Structures are given as structure tokens and as C-alpha cells.
Amino acid sequence: MQSLAQEIQSFSKAKLRKQCTRVTSLSGRRIIETWKGSTVHVVEDVAQPETPCGYVPDHSWDLQVGLVKPCLLLGSQDAANDFSTLRKHKVSHILNVAYGVENAFPDLFIYKSVRILDQPDTDITSYLQECSQFIDQAHSEKGVVLVHCNAGISRAASIVIGYLMLKEGQPFDQAFSAVKSARPTTCPNPSFLEQLRGFSPAGVKGQVNGTNHA
């Protein structure tokens, strides 16, 4: 029976099983680390899937602003928080329909905050009258209003679509097309789309005027 010292002396690296470590970076890039001798060799994982799994943070700023009308703009919180972008588009009023996004320049612009959750059970149409009144206020003051949420894709886009339906009498398809053309990333959640398709501007106006058009 060999002693421990003898076993250590007779040990050979060739007897070790080769080991490798697969690493997935935040960007979704997958690599394989293998030990060869006393160094680590890194190669791309050729077996990686075409679409990386997991959450990949997006650190790029979205400063694109959709021009729905000369005095009505649609964008993300990034645009709302970038002073140069706001000045470039001559923004005077900002309608913030995000949840948990603070107004960046309260002393420089006229704000209205309406906290809306981008959830299927949110009644987006219940906010249209209040938001539309603010947009009309901006227009009456010869201003330019930016409507934004977090990404400027679902909530803010839905409010602008609803505004065109409520205040300009546009049917859903026409209003949606106008907003989509102005900001191609527009993509309200399915529940918002269903609500807007069934939205009746006449019913809202009747409630405001104290009459029932049902």
C-alpha cells in the first residue's frame, strides 16, 4: 500500500479529467473557459442558441420622438429626461403617464402626471378624458406637449390614440395608424388595444355633458 507521499510523487496531470466552464455574459454572449496547462483558454460557444435566454438589460437611450401632430409628440422617459431633446422639439408641456418616473425639470416645463400601470386589468380608457384635457390645454396655450411613459410604446401610445379618437373623431384604425407612423415602436398591450377598439368617444362626451347617448 502506497503512502500519501508516494501517491503525490507518482501523480500525473494526465490522470486529471478535463474541465470547462460555460459563461453567459450580460449581453447574451456565451463562451467556454478551459484549462490547458497553467493558462485559461476562452472560446466562443458554437452551440449557443440563436436567441439568448434570460434578461438582457438595454442601456441605450431612446431619444426618438414621434411627431403625431405639430403640437403633439410621443416618446419615452429618456426623451422626457433629456433637456436638449425637449428644447429641440420646442416642448412646453409634458404629460407623464408612467408609474414611478419623476418629472425631471419641474421648474422649466408644465407637467401633468397620471400614474398608469401597463397591466391587462388597467382601464386605459378611464384616463383619456383627463389626459386629453391637458393636451388641449397645451394646444390652447400655443404649446407643444410630449406624452411619455417608460418606453413610449404602450401606455403613452394608447393615450395618444385615444386622444385622436376622442377629440378628433378618428376611428381606431386611423388613429392607431397615425401613431404607429409617427413612432414605429408603438405597441400597446393586447388589453389596451381591445379597449380602444371598443371605445366610444360619444359615450364619454355624453357623460361630460350630463346626457346619455346610449
DSSP for 94-110, please give it: EEE--SS---S-TTTSE
Which pLDDT belongs to residue 61?
86
Q: Is the pLDDT of residue 20 over 80?
A: no
User: CA distances (Å), 214 to each of 71, 195, 202, in order?
Assistant: 33, 17, 9
Radius of gyration of the CA atoms of the chain, in A = 28
pLDDT in tens, 31-75: 665 655 555 455 555 554 444 444 445 557 889 999 999 999 999
Domain boundaries, the chain: 17-57, 66-205
pLDDT of residue 34: 61
pTM attached to this predicted model? 0.69
Cβ pair 113, 156 in contact under 8 A: no
- CA–CA distance, 129 with 132 (Å, rounded to integer): 5
- At residue 13 the predicted structure's pLDDT band, cuts being 50, 70 and 90, is low
Name the pLDDT band for 148 (thresholds 50, 70, 90): very high
Answer yes or no: 71 catalytic.
no
pLDDT digits (tens, 9 = 90+) for 149-182: 999 999 999 999 999 999 999 999 999 999 999 9
Mean pLDDT of the 189-194 span: 97
Q: How far apart are CA 20 and CA 47, in angstroms?
A: 14
Which of 53, 71, 131, 149 does the annotation list as catalytic?
A: 149
User: Residue 202: pLDDT band by 50, 70, 90 thresholds?
Assistant: confident
* CATH of the domain spanning 66-205: 3.90.190.10
- Give the pLDDT of residue 201: 84
Residues 99-139 have pLDDT tens digits of: 989 999 999 999 999 999 999 999 999 999 999 999 999 99
